[in-house]
Amino acid sequence: MVYSQVDLDEDIDYMFKVVMIGDSGVGKSQLLNRFAKNEFNMNSKSTIGVEFLTKTVLMDHKVVKAQIWDTAGQERYQAITTAYYRGATGALLAYDITQRPSFDHVGKWLEELQIHADKNIIIMLVGNKSDLSSIREVPTEVAKDFAQKEGLFFIETSALDSNNVESAFFGLLSQIYANVSTKHI
């Protein structure tokens, strides 16, 4: 599999919708900013809220456009609507490795997906803020075991120092691609 970013938006072979989910404050927006724009906004308190960002990448010589949706902070005040999940082929489910409750709520987010999302949705569990591992509350092994039990892909990231951010998104996109391309070719 060859990954590289392409600038042209023309001749897209695949368009994948991906949704960011997880508790407020875990770093969903910053992960997306880092991946789509290579930015980290030091002063953001919590999600400012774009609806989605796109990034076009090359996979196996195919042009794949990822449309990645952010909750825009909806989860703080209200339930996320079914429309948010509609058509999504992948979900990036984030928690904060320094906040145990955000990991304990992962099961609740999986239930949300079960209710609202396509049953074949591919899920990448992401333990964010790995730069703060000195105050970690969620051991890597605990999350890894949980992911394995639930059939999720798993990675730890830092949106702050860029660690594994590309791998998290590309890992998810390549699994979606593998699924879709075997169905259609």
Nearer to ligand GDP by Cβ, of 92 and 110: the residue is: 92
Kindly state the smallest distance separating residue 93's Cβ from ligand GDP, in Å: 11
Kindly state the smallest distance separating residue 158's Cβ from ligand GDP, in Å: 4
Residues 156-175 that bind ligand GDP (CB under 6 A): 158-160
15 sits near ligand GDP (criterion: CB under 6 A): no
127 sits near ligand GDP (criterion: CB under 6 A): no
Residues 128-147 that bind ligand GDP (CB under 6 A): 128-129, 131-132
56 sits near ligand GDP (criterion: CB under 6 A): no
- The total of other beta-carbon atoms located within 10 Å of residue 37's CB is 11
Q: What DSSP letter does each residue of 106-169 carry, written as one string? A: HHHHHHHHHHHS-TT-EEEEEEE-GGGGGG--S-HHHHHHHHHHHT-EEEE--TTT-TTHHHHH
Kindly state the smallest distance separating residue 29's Cβ from ligand GDP, in Å: 4
Q: Are strands 52-59 and 62-69 parallel, antiparallel or unpaired?
A: antiparallel
Packing angle, helices 28-37 and 165-184, rounded to 10: 80
Instruction: Give the footprint of ligand GDP on this chain (CB under 6 A).
Output: 24-30, 44-47, 128-129, 131-132, 158-160
